[in-house]
Structure formats: C-alpha cells, structure tokens
A and B are shown apart, each in its own frame.
Chain A
C-alpha cells in the first residue's frame, strides 16, 4: 500500500532516524529552506549516513519531479532533480532511449545519482553518471543560483558531481540519454574461478559488451579466490518480446531479526557453482539491471539491525587486494548476500570526490552483528588503503576520517565549496568532526 509517511531513512539502516525535521521543496523558484543546517535528501537509496542529518533538517526533493525539456534528435533531457530514474525509464524506453549510466536500482533520484556520481555496469565503456551530465543548477543557502557545466563555472560542476549533496541543492540537470533498440537485452552468463580469470573475461568482453559485472561467492572462495558468475550483455539488436518482471510482495514491516539465515545465503551462493559454464538469455532490461528492485524493501530482510554494504575500488596494479579482501571475509565467516565485482574503465573522474576511478571495484553486504562486523570492516579498510584504493561514501556508514581522506585527497577542496548551511552525518564523521 502507499504509505505517504515515507520514513526518511537510509537503505542499510532501517532503524536510523534521519532527521527530526523535514522540509519539502515543490518548485524550482522556492527559496533555500530557513531551517538550518540542512541536507538534500533524494530517495534514501544510499546505504549509510551520507543522506542522513541527525542534527539538522532534511530537504526532501521528491516534489521536484518535473521534466523540463527533451530533444528528440540528441536525446538531451532536462529535468528537475527529484525525478526518479524509474520515471525516466518508464517514459523514455518505449521511445527508444535509455539512461546513459544506471546504478543497480532505478529508484534513485537524478539529484542523488549526481551527488554520488553513480556508476553502472557500463563504466568500462561509458564512465560514470557525471560523464553524461551536461549542465545543472545549484541553489545555495545564501540565495544564489549557480548554473554550471564542464565549461561554465567548471569548479562548481566538478565539486557537485560526486559532491555528496554538500555544495548546494541541485534543482535540475541536463543529461544525455542514449539510444537503444528496445527493452530486450542479450545476456551471457559465464562461470569463472579466480580474480585472474575474471580479469581475463573482463578484458575479452571490453569491446564486445557494453555491460559487464560479476557476482561472486564470497562465502566459499575456491583455491584461486573468487568463484562466481560473469554477466556480460548488450541491448539486443534483434528485439524479441520480453516481459518486465512483476513486482513481488515486499516486506510490509521490518522483522526483529534477519530473515537471511546462513543456509539461505549459502544456497544462494552455491548456485554460482552449479551454473552451466556458459549460457545466453534474452531478458527485459529490468531483470538484467534491477533484479533487486523486483522485491520492494528487500533491505528489511536483514532485520532491525540492518546491514552494512562495503564497496571499495583498488587500482588495477593492486588487483591482488581483491583476493585478499575476499579471503578475509571468508575467514571471518561473515556471509555476504550479494558480492559484486566489476572493472572500472580508464575514464578520468569528473568530480573531485567521484568514487569511480580506474581499477577494480568490489561490493559486499554484511548483516550488522555489532562490534564483530565493524572490526572486520576496519580490516577491509586497511587492505583497501594499503592498495591505494578508496571506500564508496554512498554505501558507507562507518569508515573513519583517515580512511576517507586517504581515498579522497581532494576532500579539502570540496570543504571549501561546501554550503555552510549543509552538512551530513557522513561528512561530520569523515571531514568536520566539530559541530557546525
């Protein structure tokens, strides 16, 4: 049922209290809210506390959900920042257009996608979301409005892409959609064993496949380390009729304890070993990009304590760190529901704080078991830092300031561009420990 009392929480923290006060923006010409400090809030699909502000107000931007203009020839779409990517898809896929880059859920806002400079399965080819943003407008707390692009107030542009919502409220943006032949995708699934084999597959698929990603079994790594399934896909040139998945009933409430007992997680991960060596399927793009969206509120499966997602990136030259991370997790016996491995391409990051950078990225889920989990995650931080990598703010709820600042050396520059009236719990933890 539709419950308009959408709780302002983050995805991994079902019990989190995001902020006591919420202000909504409904129109682009509205003033910056008087209730300060404040933090822009999109759709709460960030896992940790980058979209939370315990000590301030949240600025709910879902009311800015209007399209502004669309150019049929170039695919240039201008829309307000609270538009959901799902809304863009619903409207434009039937017309033969698709998002240039999409994260693993379509229920994020345009503003949220920009603020975290999100990436998708085509990073090796298309870069991150920010690479396709042509222009945007910021509303600052002093009332100024800054329109910026890669060559107009370029500093504000680079600060805002991946800027975690700290540079101001994004009111609208222009993005370049890409043409697709239709909703059907041709997906190859290949079994692999070991990071080297994964890298080999990634390399071999680089030119032939627009989208690549791997699921790995982080519970039972083989002798070679990661064992898993490699998915590579393209929009099918010969479109066959494919059906969109029907949404399954979600969990209407959060159970007190996790409904993901170990055996279930194991079962899930065993599938990665029984899969035929190679297979091909035609599927609707929703099945391929958003398998988790079919179960609303799947995050509640983790129970009231919630869970952490850990996503890091390490440079190609330190690929062995991936094996180390996986081995570490396996040794700790901490089940990961879904572990994802992907190669990022060589694109130069757009934003000062963009997470995607050349290298390998690994994402793992951990049910929150308190101290034990936090300790394990600290160890993972060490391995990541040692490898010269970084941890993804959109997924993070716990990394310390040092880890963050090593991974994002430009953070001080962003701090200079941060709107003095904006702060998040995340930023307080990693950059400004003293209250503002």
Chain B
C-alpha cells in the first residue's frame, strides 16, 4: 500500500489516476478547492477500494496555507510516498494578452503555486530519503506558441524547475516524474473541438500511473506527443515564427 497525496485531485486526469491507485488499494489524501467535488471524488475512490485518509480544500494560491495542509496530509497518510500535483487552469490566451493582471494570476496558479508546493515537498522527501514527486506539466512547456504561450510559459517554468529538482533529489533517492500530456478530453478543454489527437482521461491515466510506478523521469501522454513535440522543437525559428500554431 502506497501513501499518495494528490493536489488538484478533482481534475479529470487526476481522478482517473487516483482510481488506479484505488484499484491497488493505496491510501490517498486529496486536495483541491471545491469541497463538494472533493467529497464526491473521495466517495468514489472509497467505493473503488482506496483508503481515503482525508481531503482538504485549498486554494493553491494561498501560499501561506501550504505548510498546514501538507502537515495535515502527511499526518493523515502517515508519510507521503507519492505526491502528485495536477491542479491547473487553462486561460484564454487572447484575454491574457489584454490583461497583465490575468497573465500574472495564471502564472501564479500554474507555476508559482506549484513551485512553492514543490519546495516544501522536496524538503520533506529529501529528509526522509524516499518518495516520488510527479507533476503534470504539458506539451505546451516544450515551445512557446502564440495560441497558449502564457499557459506554456507557466508549464515551462515548472518543467525546468523539475529538471533541476530531479538532479538535486537523485542523491537522496527521491524520484521526480514530469508528465507532459497532449490533448485530453476534460472539463479544462470542454470548449475545444475534438479530433484524432485527443485522448480520454482513462487512457492518459493508465500511462501516467505506469510511469509513476516504474519511476520514469519524463513521460509524454499519449506517447506520440514525444515525436510531435520533437518536430516542433526542431523547427528552425525563422520558419516557426511564421506559422500558426
């Protein structure tokens, strides 16, 4: 039985991952903002076989509450083997372009809050010399694109942070998994037209769950995004700046 802390636990992707932990009979602690949704998720996971150690409502942007919530989770779980960070928001890029305030807020939610949580989690795990940190970033982190570069910049910040953190924690036996999903059909992407590249949260979860279990460093979800993003990254800048993406 593993002890799993999930932040952004009510996200469609995180819920699907949590169900796989539930199947294994793992113990979970859930964090997100909406209390009702947390309860619904906790009930579901309980019926599915998880032992739910508790849940807590937290706005991740309230950085001053992080310590207390992590303390509570750690206590309820009796230690944290796996910390999965999955919260996020996807802003409308055009709105950000007109509003520095919104842009800052999105960077706050998608980067600063995550980095703040990671800072505390890393300290605790390093001390215990065990555990795994898994964070959902995005393929958007791989290269800034005009369609979502505010979101992309936030994810890239976290992605780069994780790269460094992985090096640092390696010596302490703590693993770091960076998860870069492509298009997943969830409430976050409700407004998008779905095409062939889209995957279901259940399918994404399987791959993520396996990657966490086997201790992978970086995983693209679904797998083919690795190749798509390789092409996008390799594209010469002189060409890249002219295309719509």
The reply to whether B185 and A4 form a contact with Cβ atoms under 8 Å apart is yes
List which B86-143 residues lie within 8 A (CB) of chain A.
none
Among the stretches B43-51, B58-66, B162-170, B228-236, the one at the interface with A is B43-51
Contact, CB under 8 Å: A2 / B203: yes
A25-65 residues at the B interface, CB under 8 angstroms? 26-29, 63
How far apart sit A77 and B203, CA to CA, in the bound complex (Å)? 26
Closest B residue to A29 by beta carbon equals B36
Are the CB atoms of A5 and B194 closer together than 8 Å? yes
Binary per-residue interface labels of chain B (156-192) against chain A in the complex, 1 for a CB within 8 Å, 0 otherwise: 0000000000000000000000000001110100100
Q: How far is the CA of A196 from the CA of B30 in the complex (A)?
A: 61
Chain A interface size, as a band, is 10 to 19
Closest chain B CB from A9 CB (angstroms): 15
Tell me whether B12 and A26 are in contact (CB under 8 A): yes
Residues on B with C-beta less than 8 A from A68 are 40, 43-44, 47
Q: What are 17 sample pairs from A and B whose C-beta atoms fall under 8 A apart? A: A2-B200, A3-B196, A3-B198, A4-B184, A4-B194, A4-B199, A5-B194, A5-B196, A24-B187, A27-B40, A29-B36, A66-B41, A66-B43, A66-B44, A67-B47, A69-B43, A91-B48
Alpha-carbon distance A79/B202, docked complex (angstroms): 18
Main secondary structure, interface of A, reads: loop
Q: Which of B12, B48, B198 contacts A5 (CB 8 A)?
A: B198
Number of cross-chain contacts by CB at 8 Å:
48
- Contact between A69 and B47, CB atoms less than 8 A apart: yes
Give the A-binding residues of B (Cβ under 8 A): 12, 36-37, 40-41, 43-44, 47-48, 183-185, 187, 190, 194-196, 198-200, 202-203
For residue B47, which residue of chain A has the nearest CB? A67
A4 close to B12 (CB less than 8 A): no
* Shortest Cβ distance from A91 into B: residue: B48
Chain A residues with Cβ under 8 A from B203's Cβ? 2
Q: Which A residues are CB-close (under 8 A) to B47? A: 67-70, 77, 79, 91
Q: Which residue of B lies closest to A65 (CB)?
A: B44
A67 and B43 contact, CB distance less than 8 A: yes
Residues of A within 8 Å of B48, CB to CB, are 67, 91
Residue of A whose beta carbon sits closest to that of B183: A4
Please name the 10 residue pairs, one residue from A and one from B, whose CB atoms are nearest each other, closest first: A67-B47, A4-B185, A66-B44, A4-B198, A5-B194, A2-B203, A70-B47, A2-B200, A67-B44, A26-B187
Shortest distance from the beta carbon of B117 to any chain A beta carbon, whole Å:
24
The interface of chain A, by Cβ under 8 A from chain B, is 2-5, 24, 26-29, 63, 66-70, 77, 79, 91
Alpha-carbon distance A66/B48, docked complex (angstroms):
9
Most chain B beta-carbon contacts within 10 A, residue among A4, A26, A67, A69: A4
A28 CA to B183 CA, complexed, in Å: 25
Q: Residue A2 contacts which of B40, B190, B199 (CB distance < 8 angstroms)? A: B199
Q: How far is the CB of B223 from chain A (nearest CB, A)?
A: 12
B218 to chain A, nearest CB (A): 22
User: How far is B16's CA from A4's CA once the two chains are assembled, in angstroms?
Assistant: 15
Distance in angstroms between the alpha carbons of A91 and B25 in the assembled complex: 13
B198 CB to nearest chain A CB (Å) = 4
Q: In the assembled complex, which residues on chain A have CB atoms less than 8 Å from the CB atom of B184?
A: 4
Evaluate contact between B196 and A28: CB separation under 8 angstroms. Answer: no
Residues of B with C-beta under 8 A to A63: 12, 187
- Point out the residues of chain A lying under 8 angstroms from B195, CB to CB: 5
Distance (Å) between the CB of B16 and the closest chain A CB? 10
Shortest beta-carbon distance from B35 to chain A in Å = 10
What are the residues of chain B within 8 A of A77 when measuring CB–CB? 47
**Using Cβ atoms and an 8 Å threshold, which residues of chain A touch B183?**
4
B107 to chain A, nearest CB (A): 26
Additional A-B contacts beyond A2-B203, A63-B187 (12; CB < 8 A) = A3-B198, A4-B183, A4-B200, A5-B195, A24-B190, A29-B36, A66-B40, A66-B43, A68-B44, A68-B47, A69-B43, A79-B47
How far, in whole Å, are A29 and B41 apart by their CA atoms in the complex? 13
Residues of A within 8 A of B41 (CB): 66
Closest residue on chain B to residue A26 by CB atoms: B187
**Which residues on the A side are within 8 Å of B44 (C-beta)?**
66-68
- The residues of A that contact B190 with a CB separation of less than 8 Å are 24
In whole angstroms, how far apart are the Cα atoms of A69 and B196 in the complex? 36
List B contacts of A69 (CB < 8 A): 43, 47
- List the A residue with the shortest CB-CB distance to B222: A2
CA distance A72 to B57 in the complex (A): 29
- For the complex, give the distance between the alpha carbons of A70 and B190 in Å: 31
Question: Please, how many angstroms separate the alpha-carbon atoms of A24 and B198 in the complex?
Answer: 16
Per the bound structure, the CA–CA distance linking A29 and B37 in Å amounts to 9
